[in-house]
A and B are shown apart, each in its own frame.
Chain A
Amino acid sequence: MLEAFFNNAELQIMLVGAMVGTASSLVGTFLVLRGNSMLSDAISHSIVFGIVVVWLLTHHQSGPVQLIGAALTGLLTVFLTELLASTRRMKQDAAIGLVFPALFSIGVLLLNVYANDVHIDTHTVLLGEIGFVWLDTVEVLGYHVPQAVVSMTIMLTLNLIFVGAFFKELKLSTFDPALAKALGFAPGVLFYALLMLTSSTAVAAFDAVGAVLFIAFAIVPPAAAYLLTDRVWLMLALGTLISTAASVSGYYIAVQWDVSIGGMMAVMTGVFLLLAFIAGPRYGIISQRLRRHRARGLAAG
């Protein structure tokens, strides 16, 4: 049965999509709840810098060294952002808007300079191509497993362990950082760990969906889930469900129209967000209208 699976490119592509979606929405949920969604944008751009630097230093284009490099780049991004914001001469969003383009620019220029040696072009970096994941395989237990499946399995496991083990602490430090600190937890450390996992997930997802589409997987499913529920565990579950559904439906539509598969998967996350925005049971526009209408009816009669 496994044999059949690893010979089936279609299933593998959808699996990688769902894994990217699940792993990213696990961490993305907490970013959305904390109001730090745009950090995923910043990180996903600035890891381009990290990838190029790690490549220049070690000549590893993927694998554990790159994951660690990405985690450090993510930390660097957030550290620089907070450093700039702590001067109190600009707001945090302005600091984000300064740091990641600068790191990204340095990455692109390094690519320009070493263009002949590096097999990463900026186009792949931004867009990725999930349709080719089944071509790049490694041998695990006698099976030819796609590289992306291996790296995404690692990140998915890490993220699951992190969220599972620190679920209470994450909730507490997300909703009441002051109390978390008073109780002796370290919300800052937890936050940095979350961001390190975010950037590692970004770099693992990178070959498959590229830097920008990673944001779609990290932010949009949690945002849609946020419009559907008030419970964190349900938000995590719904985020996973939405990203899986987006991966499967996106794949079939992309094949039908012969367009970018990763792009279509990301577009589908947007479709689900719009659905939740318009028709969500409690916070959707329609139910808001209905409630207002009913309230007016009660008031009138």
Chain B
Amino acid sequence: MSWLTILGDYTFQNVVMGAAFLGIISGALGSFAVLRGQSLLGDAISHAALPGVCLGFIVAGSRNMGSIIIGAAITGGLAALLMLALTRMSRLKTDAALGSCLSIFFAIGVVLLTYIQGTENASQGGLDAFLFGQAAATLRSDVWIMGGITFVALAILAALWKQAKLVTFDAEFARTLGMPVTLIEVLLTTMITLAVVVGLQMVGVVLMAAMIVAPAVAARQWSRHLGGMVMIAALVGVISGISGATLSTLGRGLATGPLIILSASAIVLVSLAIAPGRGILWEVLRLARQRWSLQKRQILYVLYQTRLEQDESERSPWLSRSALTAFALYRLKRQGLLTSFRNAAALGKSARQWRLTPSGVRQAQQITATFNIPQHG
């Protein structure tokens, strides 16, 4: 297949558009979930969508996208509410409440799935696809539904932007301002359901967890502002969605959902490594530079002190003979701050001795001054 035929392919266009919508909505809503410490909520809600998918199928009698999405939204929302009830009204912690809701709702879904199989409905084939997603089966009408949901979610988010932001970062303050905090929290929690239903067709209920978390975590590395984070998260979602969909078209027989998730994970890893300011690579470099500067000052200081106290030809100061120190000594020598010479008289020590050069002495004096240690003797 050449690139042009792929781009012109009807199925491919559907998949790419669907993946893009999924990326936008899950990135935007996922940012709030991750910031509010509810990263695994998407996991629970997406598993809880399974019984809804089955119910939608039973009610409609066929694989009708509209009724399946409504069903998924209802059971996903119910699971979110049950989760909130369990954490607020009992002594269960969030993790146990999430795990319980997730597994109970999924179990109901499995029971309904086998019930549907038992009724031997001819069109039941394809319900399994919602477990792992089946992007290739996306119809143009499905894409419009996904787009509509994405638009609605973004509109709600835009309308409630200030309130959502305040509740996310300082719920107590929002409460003192008289905001309906609980209502907004419930809304932000249940809106994850909208992202999940968009993802049903593309990545399936099992892998939606990562679609909520990954773009948001990647975006967090690049931005310190909520607006920037939400926008970057949506972009990351779109990129991983489209690249996953494209890879699965090129590599025959590879499932779309896992490829989208792995693309998103790869972007997270790259972001963790190189994002400006927060990247791990920069931190490692910064630490190495700090360690070097400290070591340099220590060595120069020690050599300078010995020089003040005694005739340096008699005895060399004690220097750790580790590889790290040796490396530092040679590096200082290359910078012209030290010279080395051999001294056979030094008993039991390495024959190589170190001495400050005149420019080394000048630097050491500056360092001693900044150390501000009172000179004794």
- A interface vs B, CB < 8 Å? 32, 35-38, 40-41, 45, 84, 87, 89-91, 93-94, 96-98, 100-102, 104-106, 108-109, 112-113, 115, 122-123, 126-127, 212-213, 215-216, 219-220, 222-223, 226-227, 254, 257-260, 262-267, 269-270, 273, 277, 283, 285, 288
Contacts and interface: CB of A to CB of B under 8 A. Distances in A.
Given A101-B210, A213-B103, A215-B102, A267 B108 contact: yes
The 6 A-B pairs with the shortest beta carbon distances in the complex, nearest first, are A270-B104, A101-B210, A266-B107, A105-B258, A263-B110, A216-B103
B268 interface: yes
Interface of B: 34, 37-40, 42-43, 47, 86, 89-93, 95-100, 102-104, 106-115, 118, 128, 131-132, 206-207, 209-210, 212-214, 216-217, 220-221, 253-255, 257-259, 261-262, 265, 268, 272, 278, 280
Contact of A219 (B103, B110, B280): B103
B37 A263 contact: no
Nearest to A38: B95
For A87, A265, A267, A288, the residue with the greatest tally of chain B CB atoms inside 10 Å of its CB is A267
B107 A270 contact: yes
Nearest to B271: A89
Contact of B99 (A41, A90, A123): A41
10 contacts: A37-B96, A37-B100, A102-B210, A109-B262, A112-B255, A113-B253, A127-B110, A219-B100, A263-B107, A270-B103
Contacts of A35: 93, 95-96
A37 B103 CA distance: 11
A108 B265 CA distance: 15
Contact of B111 (A98, A219, A227, A263): A263
B116 to A, nearest CB: 10
Given A89-B220, A105-B207, A264-B111, A216 B104 contact: yes
Contacts, number: 207
Contact of A259 (B92, B115, B254): B115
B55 to A, nearest CB: 14
Q: Main secondary structure on chain A at its contact with chain B?
A: helix
A38 B98 contact: yes
A109 B259 contact: yes
Q: Main secondary structure on chain B at its contact with chain A?
A: helix
B93 A105 contact: no
B90 A98 contact: no
For A115, A212, A226, A266, the residue with the greatest tally of chain B CB atoms inside 10 Å of its CB is A212
Given A91-B37, A227-B91, A102 B262 contact: yes
A89 B86 contact: no
Contacts of B261: 101-102, 105
Given A106-B262, A108-B132, A109-B255, A37 B110 contact: no
Nearest to B211: A101
A267 B104 contact: yes
Contacts of B42: 97
Contacts of A98: 210, 213-214, 217, 265, 268
Contacts of B255: 108-109, 112
Contacts of A113: 253-254
A41 B209 CA distance: 11
A97 B111 contact: no
A226 B103 contact: no
A219 B97 CA distance: 9
B39 A213 contact: no
Contacts of B39: 91, 93-94, 96-97
A215 to B, nearest CB: 4
Contact of A267 (B40, B107, B207, B257): B107
Contacts of A263: 107-111, 113-114
A71 to B, nearest CB: 21
A260 B114 contact: yes
Given A97-B210, A259-B115, A267-B104, 20 more contacts: A32-B96, A36-B95, A37-B100, A38-B95, A40-B99, A84-B272, A91-B34, A94-B217, A96-B40, A98-B265, A101-B261, A104-B258, A105-B262, A112-B254, A113-B254, A123-B128, A223-B97, A226-B96, A259-B114, A269-B103
Nearest to A271: B104
Contacts of B118: 258-259
Contact of A212 (B95, B106, B207, B265): B106
Contacts of A91: 34, 37, 39
Contacts of A38: 40, 43, 95, 98-99
Contact of A97 (B40, B97, B132, B257): B40
